[in-house]
Amino acid sequence: MSSDETIVVIGAGVIGLSTALHIQQHLQPSQKILIVARDFPNTTSLNYASPWAGAHYRPVPGSSPQAAREDSQARRTYQYFTQLATEDPTAGVQLIDGEEHLESPPPEYLNEANIQNSYAHLDGFRRLAHDETPAEVKWGVRYRTYVVNSPVYCAYLLRKFILNGGQTREYTLVDPLEAFELAGSVKTVVNCSGLGFGDPKSFIIRGQTCLVRNPCTVTLTRQNSDGTWSFCIPRPLGGGTIIGGTKQPRDWNPTPSLDTRNQLLSNAAKWFPFTKESGGRFDVIRDIVGRRPAREGGMRIEAVSYSPLTLPTIIRLGRHADDCPAQLKRDA
């Protein structure tokens, strides 16, 4: 009988793929790793959130313990993606200037300690002067960040995992304990399933965006005077530009709303840097609806032993709407 041990990772979103790749770098000769998932990067289920993301990196200032934890995670991720964009363009990650224009900045944006904690690590970070933003903007910053072509990046991660000897299985689990039965000698299961198999604190946030052909050389986030947010995120490698977006907690409607599309494009048209040949109009490719996994209280990372006899372990990785592990910002 083989003494090889299999480590199972549940989920092939950006968290599952990134986790599996990281574990893969630390395997012993007697260990192998298997990703088990309902959806993989070749699928387009709206419940498979990762490929729908914009995606870009934008800090979210705050002073809570959760915000401090996520700031620390975000700094490490910023370093990782900055290096990846420089070393491997095929990953679908590109360094770019990011700007934020706020008409009515919330209190957390007016707290200098919050701003330093969230923004100071960013290359080229500086405040924008009044003559560098539209007149109605009360708070503006610019920094060097990155944007991600999410479908390309997810496929890139999966390709690396397989080329490194990883195995995959398309399978819909009913319970995470089932993963212990999918291969021989499974002692560890890492749950990167997003909604967490019945975790009462987990829920979905419906997001609707619009993919357009119009090019853009910066990723720009705009807070409107009524408190709503707009953004544009160019996707590298000719992936168009994402115009967004909405956040609708616990909304299960799978159908894109034409009214929402019109509102998103109308808001963005007020500040989008149109090229002359566009005539000031968006060239729409498609509407996008995705369900972001979210969790009250933020990310959950813990190990649970299910049997005192065999001591199998399941590691739970939860999600929060503003988490970014491996810190992809989900503005899609």
> Is 174 annotated in some ligand binding site?
yes
Token pair, residue 153, equals 């990046």
> Is 261 annotated in some ligand binding site?
no
The tally of CA atoms less than 13 A away on the side-chain side of residue 164 is 21
DSSP structure string for 242-284: EEE---EET----SPPHHHHHHHHHHHHTT----GGGTT---E
Q: Is 221 exposed, middle or buried (0-12, 13-18, 19+ CB in 10 A)?
A: buried
Q: Is 200 exposed, middle or buried (0-12, 13-18, 19+ CB in 10 A)?
A: exposed
On whether the CB atoms of residues 326 and 15 are closer than 8 A, the answer is yes
Please list, residue by residue across 142-170, b when 16 or more beta carbons sit within 10 angstroms of its beta carbon and e when fewer do. Answer: bbebbbbbbbbbbbbbbebbeeeebebee
CA gap 234, 215 in Å, rounded: 7
- Residues of each annotated binding site for D-dopa: 292
- Residues of each annotated binding site for FAD: 174
- Residues of each annotated binding site: 174, 292
